[in-house]
């Protein structure tokens, strides 16, 4: 049995066993994410006493055959409060990427704990002012910073910008949950797009405390009588695959 699968199995029985995190990722943050039934939005908000609601639009870009996602690259634009344009590289290998902007832009390393996987991501974000949302790959390419383009190039992501386009538009709503327990802050986030919905509970943590944080998220969901989804995957991947599969 792989170590991350073993860690997941043990944490589900209340035993906290840390994932093995490469020393190069020691300074990375982490976030545990748990999908629950999107049919229970109001139930989740009420049961968890969630407040401080905020909304924004999320736009995802890729080719029709998801050529970027298949290489671990995510291009995302968020409008509304804290609007930003982000290039994210995601992998399960734990490889350390350097900040191509040399501190001039918002570079982040994070380990996403989803299901029994620990997915390492490196992202470079730039603020997005009031501009028309790009629809084509050429317009998106022009909007990316030099640092973001360098990040894609350094990772050897192959992109034909003529085939890139805006794939999905998501209505994102999140609520903040404050508790007196081990999880001081939990976010409830709903993604709603033309053909589906996703509801996620998430909590920031340290990579080594990942299993215990995930276990606490599950315990919170079960105590609130929420239905935990069998399929646990990153929201972005689920949306892009759903849109690509739609007629």
Can you spell out the DSSP letters for 35-54? EE-GGGHHHHHHHTT-EEEE
Angstrom distance (rounded) from CA 45 to CA 203: 16
Q: Is residue 33 in a domain? A: yes
Q: Is residue 110 in a domain? A: yes
The confidence band for 18, taking pLDDT boundaries of 50, 70 and 90, is: very low
Angstrom distance (rounded) from CA 243 to CA 194: 9
Geometric angle at alpha carbon 176, from 170 and 178, rounded to 5°: 160
Angstrom distance (rounded) from CA 82 to CA 210: 27
Angstrom distance (rounded) from CA 57 to CA 169: 7
CATH number, domain containing residue 130:
2.40.320.10
Residue with tokens 């989803």: 114
Q: Is residue 17 in a domain? A: no
pLDDT digits (tens, 9 = 90+) for 86-103: 999 997 665 677 888 788
Q: Is the dihedral of CA 117, 120, 124, 125 positive or negative?
A: positive
pLDDT for residue 5: 36
Q: Are 62 and 75 in contact (CB under 8 A)?
A: yes
pLDDT digits (tens, 9 = 90+) for 131-180: 899 999 999 999 999 999 999 999 999 999 999 999 999 999 999 999 87
44: tokens are 């989740």
Q: Where are the alpha helices (DSSP H) in the chain?
A: 3-12, 41-47, 137-143, 146-154, 210-223, 235-245
Q: Are 59 and 76 in contact (CB under 8 A)?
A: yes
Could you count the other beta carbons within 10 Å of the beta carbon of residue 45? 18
Q: Is 99 helix (H, G, I), strand (E, B) or coil?
A: coil
Its domain, for residue 73, covers: 3-8+28-245
pLDDT for residue 97: 78
pLDDT digits (tens, 9 = 90+) for 35-73: 999 999 999 999 999 988 999 999 999 999 999 999 999
- Number of structural domains the chain divides into: 1
pLDDT digits (tens, 9 = 90+) for 168-222: 999 999 999 998 778 889 999 999 999 999 999 999 998 888 889 999 999 999 9
Q: Is residue 14 in a domain? A: no
113: tokens are 């704990």
Q: Is residue 179 in a domain? A: yes
């Amino acid at each position: 049995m792989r170590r991350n699968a073993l860690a997941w199995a043990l944490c589900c029985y209340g035993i906290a066993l840390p994932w093995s995190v490469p020393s190069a990722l020691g300074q990375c943050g982490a976030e545990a994410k748990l999908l629950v039934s999107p049919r229970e939005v109001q139930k989740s908000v009420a049961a968890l006493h969630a407040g401080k609601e905020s909304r924004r639009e999320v736009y995802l870009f890729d080719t029709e055959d998801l050529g970027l996602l298949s290489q671990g690259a995510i291009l995302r634009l968020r409008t509304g409060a804290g609007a930003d344009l982000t290039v994210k590289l995601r992998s399960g290998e734990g490889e350390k990427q350097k900040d191509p902007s040399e501190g001039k832009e918002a570079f982040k390393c994070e380990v996403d704990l989803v299901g029994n996987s620990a997915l390492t991501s490196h992202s470079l974000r730039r603020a997005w002012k009031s501009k028309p949302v790009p629809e084509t790959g050429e317009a998106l390419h022009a909007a990316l910073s030099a640092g973001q383009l360098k990040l894609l190039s350094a990772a050897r992501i192959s992109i034909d910008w003529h085939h890139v386009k805006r794939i999905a538009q998501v209505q994102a709503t999140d609520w903040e949950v404050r508790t007196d327990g081990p999880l001081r802050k939990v976010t409830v986030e709903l993604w709603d797009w033309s053909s589906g919905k996703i509801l996620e509970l998430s909590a920031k943590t340290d990579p080594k405390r990942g299993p215990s944080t995930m276990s606490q998220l599950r315990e919170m969901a079960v105590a609130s009588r929420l239905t935990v989804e069998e399929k646990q995957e990153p929201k972005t991947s689920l949306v892009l695959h759903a849109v690509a599969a739609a007629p």
